[in-house]
């Protein structure tokens, strides 16, 4: 017979509650032997919450036969691995929306992997290149005039190496070997570094990365390490991406006087307020008795994207621009900025206050047609309409459910990464805001963080946003468990994962909604559970940023008979 998982969860939850998080199943004590370890550091900047895979079969990729360590790197990018594990190549998996780079304020926007050879103490873009293409690394060392061993170290003594390393990672992917295909782009970055050194301006790049534009040219992109640094002394124009909220509230202007005080101007006038930004990037503004809280999801020198985070209010996405969002004058653009390229539009697809963030990738074909994809749902393209650039203005015609709409797109602000646009429907003159990104990593990361803040789910393409993770399981001597799922420890009906099979004392799972805290792992033997009674087990599990910490230890769980 089929069993009811909710019944299992309810019963096991009661065990969990009664036993307490630190209860033991035995009065005996034992001392585990101390395992000698080696400290490994994962560097672009220091990469926190990276996961380490031990490449047991030495094939330069993390697969089912390899060992994924349950602990993640700490804030300094460091992790302790056993000396036995250090005898193998180690792969660092950098997880979009989870791994934090010390060079950035928000989590990294795309996933990629790096590797280091057995016995090494650091994992960097350079150790990855040394593993994949040693000659390419030697060429880089020669171009930069840096000893190769410096490149293979912690990078602390070489500004040029640090600048190049942080500029390499946006070009890397989960396919480690892909780094060998980026040598021409690395060379363009190196040329930019050498140009700065020759002009005695290298120090100005210490807080920047060099990015490669779609035209293949290198450009300097300042790093933002402190949000206040980009706010103070500027006036920001702010509006909602949701049409309903935009029509209701319009565009506001915020002048940041200093690190504590601002002036807020809208249709009702100008008011003074105080503000603060906490360590979790929550922006809190207070005026009289009103408190406005926004969680900042994306930040650059001239564009910020946040989500409203006020109880009982819509969680709409907000854009902050240093350009006037009310402007009617479009920045000039050219056909070459679009033709043959795909731009990913971050928008709100709702026509009411029920917030519906969405990403649509538009491919601007050379024949003037538009094809589109929705990367948060599928990688398939479909016919979407047409486009043209006339006198520096972008016009798009979109066909949706047998209806055709024509939009004049005002380019309010643009950089190498994005364009802030105002779409005006030519039929009714209604306008809405959106942001075009030149790759899908940034908007997908924004939506992932939006889900974390709101607790709402947006369907996602597993190939771009889902990271397979591994957690070790410890069972008692006579414990028979082959299936487990994670649930809320105060709500037995809230299942946070599907059933997960235990294989070789491990489970493979996907990032668990970026949860943080202590939850409950429920375990049973699937064959026994086809009829009552059967034995069920529960144990606490700690989750940080959606990743299980340590091991899931059932060895102290006494189990409880499930009878109905």
Query: Pairing relation of β-strands 122-123 and 37-42?
Result: parallel
Strands 552-553 and 468-474: parallel
Tens-place pLDDT, residues 281-311: 899 999 887 899 999 999 988 999 999 998 8
Distances (CA, A) of 240 to 249, 288, 345: 8, 23, 15
CA dist 474 and 177 (Å) reads 35
pLDDT score of 14? 56
Tell me, yes or no, whether 63 lies in a domain. Answer: yes
Give the helix/strand (H/E) hosting 14: helix 5-19
Q: What are phi and psi of 89, to 5 degrees?
A: -60, 145
Residue 329 domain flag? no
Q: Are residues 178 and 282 in the same domain?
A: no
Scanning 169-280, the segments in alpha helix (DSSP H) are 183-198, 227-231, 243-249
Question: Which string of b and e fits 401-410 if b means at least 16 CB within 10 Å?
Answer: eeeebebbbb
Q: Does any domain span residue 326?
A: no
My answer on whether 202 and 236 are in the same domain is no
Structural domain count, the chain: 4
Cβ atoms of 82 and 36 within 8 Å: the answer is yes
Same domain, 159 and 67: yes
Q: Is 44 a member of any domain?
A: yes
Examine the domain organization and report whether 492 and 518 are in the same domain. Answer: yes
- Do 78 and 187 belong to one domain? yes
pLDDT of residue 351: 75
Flag residues of the chain having pLDDT under 50.
Answer: 1-3, 19-28, 459-466
Q: Which residue has the tokens 């309409």?
A: 385
Which one, of 306, 308, 332, lies nearest residue 321 by Cα?
A: 306
Q: Name beta bridge partners: 489.
A: none
Residue 330: inside a domain: no
Residues 416 and 516 in one domain: no
pLDDT value for 61: 86
Shared domain for 94 and 121, answered yes or no, is: yes
In which residue are the tokens 């880089």 written? 140
Cα–Cα distance, 337 to 213 (Å, whole number): 10
| Enclosing domain of residue 469 | 5-34+463-562
Task: Let me know how long the chain is.
Answer: 564
Contact between 37 and 83 (Cβ < 8 Å)? yes
Per-residue pLDDT tens over the stretch 61-77: 888 888 989 899 999 99
SS3 286: strand
Q: Are residues 44 and 146 in the same domain?
A: yes
User: Exposed/middle/buried for 240, CB within 10 Å: 0-12, 13-18, 19+?
Assistant: buried
Question: Among candidates 285, 309, 311, 315, which has minimal Cα distance to 295?
Answer: 309
Look at residue 328 and tell me if it is in a domain: no
Closest to 287 (Cα-Cα) out of 269, 299, 314, 303: 269
Q: Report the pLDDT value the prediction gives residue 518, as an integer from 0 to 100.
A: 84
Out of 289, 321, 353, pick the residue that ends a domain.
321
Please check whether residue 327 lies inside any domain of the structure. no
Report in angstroms the alpha-carbon separations of 7 from 13, 182, 538, 564: 10, 54, 13, 7
Q: Which residues contact residue 447 at a Cβ distance below 8 angstroms, ignoring those fewer than 6 apart?
A: 346, 357, 359, 376, 458, 460
Q: Among 402, 433, 454, where does a domain finish?
A: 454
Whether residue 187 sits in one domain with residue 44: yes
In terms of domains, do 450 and 488 share one? no
CA torsion through residues 184, 185, 188, 193, sign: negative
pLDDT for res 294: 94
* Residue 173, both tokens: 């992917």
201 and 85 both lie in a single domain: yes
**What span, in angstroms and rounded, lies between the C-alpha atoms of 532 and 11?**
13
Q: Which of 172, 206, 222 is the last residue of a domain?
A: 222
Could you tell me if residue 357 is inside a domain? yes
Burial 179-196 (b: 16+ CB within 10 A, else e): beebeebbebbbebbeeb
How is residue 319 annotated by DSSP?
E
One domain for residues 11 and 77? no
DSSP H/E element including 447: helix 441-454
Residue found by looking up tokens 């406005």 in the block: 292
Read off the CATH number of the domain in which 443 is found: 2.40.128.20
Sheet holding 67-72, edge to edge: 67-72, 51-54, 90-94, 112-116
């Amino acid at each position: 017979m089929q069993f009811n998982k909710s019944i299992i969860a309810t019963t096991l939850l009661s065990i969990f509650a009664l036993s307490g998080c630190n209860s033991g199943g035995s009065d005996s004590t034992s001392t585990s032997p101390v395992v000698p370890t080696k400290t490994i550091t994962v560097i672009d900047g220091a990469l926190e919450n990276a996961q380490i895979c031990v490449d047991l079969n030495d094939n330069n990729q993390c697969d089912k036969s390899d060992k994924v360590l349950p602990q993640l790197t700490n804030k300094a990018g460091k992790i302790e691995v056993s000396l036995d594990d250090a005898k193998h190549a180690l792969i660092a998996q950098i997880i979009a929306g989870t791994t934090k780079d010390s060079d950035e304020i928000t989590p990294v926007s795309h996933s990629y992997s790096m590797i280091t050879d057995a016995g090494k103490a650091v994992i960097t873009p350079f150790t990855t290149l040394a593993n994949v293409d040693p000659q390419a690394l030697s060429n880089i060392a020669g171009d930069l005039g840096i000893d190769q061993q410096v490149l293979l170290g912690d990078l602390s003594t070489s500004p040029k190496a640090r600048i190049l390393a942080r500029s390499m990672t946006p070009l890397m992917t989960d396919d480690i070997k892909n780094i060998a295909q980026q040598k021409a782009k690395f060379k363009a970055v190196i040329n930019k570094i050498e140009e700065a050194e020759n002009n005695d301006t290298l120090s100005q790049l210490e807080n920047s990365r060099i990015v490669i534009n779609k035209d293949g040219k290198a450009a300097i992109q300042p790093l933002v390490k402190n949000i206040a640094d980009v706010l103070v002394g500027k006036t920001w124009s702010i509006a909602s991406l949701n049409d309903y909220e935009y029509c209701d509230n319009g565009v506001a202007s915020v002048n940041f006087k200093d690190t504590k005080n601002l002036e807020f101007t809208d249709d009702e006038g100008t008011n003074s307020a105080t503000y603060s930004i906490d360590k979790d990037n929550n922006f809190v503004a207070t005026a009289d008795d009103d408190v406005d809280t926004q969680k900042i999801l994306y930040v650059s020198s001239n564009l910020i994207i946040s989500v409203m985070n006020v109880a009982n209010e819509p969680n709409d996405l907000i854009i902050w621009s240093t350009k006037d969002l009310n402007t009617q004058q479009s920045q000039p653009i050219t056909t070459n900025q679009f033709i043959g390229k795909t731009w990913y539009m971050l928008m709100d697809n709702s026509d009411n206050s029920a917030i519906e963030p969405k990403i649509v990738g538009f491919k601007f074909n050379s024949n003037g047609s538009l094809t589109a994809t929705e990367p948060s749902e599928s990688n398939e393209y479909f016919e979407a309409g047409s486009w043209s650039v006339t006198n520096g203005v972008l016009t798009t015609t979109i066909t949706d459910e047998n209806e055709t709409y024509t939009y004049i797109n005002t380019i309010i602000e643009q950089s190498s990464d994005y364009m802030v646009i105002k779409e005006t429907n030519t039929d009714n003159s209604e306008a809405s805001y959106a942001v075009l990104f030149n790759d899908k990593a940034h908007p997908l990361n924004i939506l992932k963080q939006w889900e974390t803040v709101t607790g709402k789910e947006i369907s996602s393409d597993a190939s771009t946003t889902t990271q397979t993770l591994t957690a070790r399981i410890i069972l008692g001597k006579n414990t028979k468990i082959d299936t487990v799922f994670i649930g809320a420890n105060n709500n037995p009906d809230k299942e946070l994962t599907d059933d997960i099979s235990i294989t070789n004392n491990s489970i493979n799972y996907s990032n668990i909604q970026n949860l943080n805290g202590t939850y409950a792992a429920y375990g049973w033997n699937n064959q026994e559970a086809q009829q009552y009674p059967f034995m069920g087990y529960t144990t606490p599990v700690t989750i940080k940023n959606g990743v299980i910490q340590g091991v899931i230890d059932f060895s102290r769980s006494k189990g409880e008979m499930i009878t109905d």
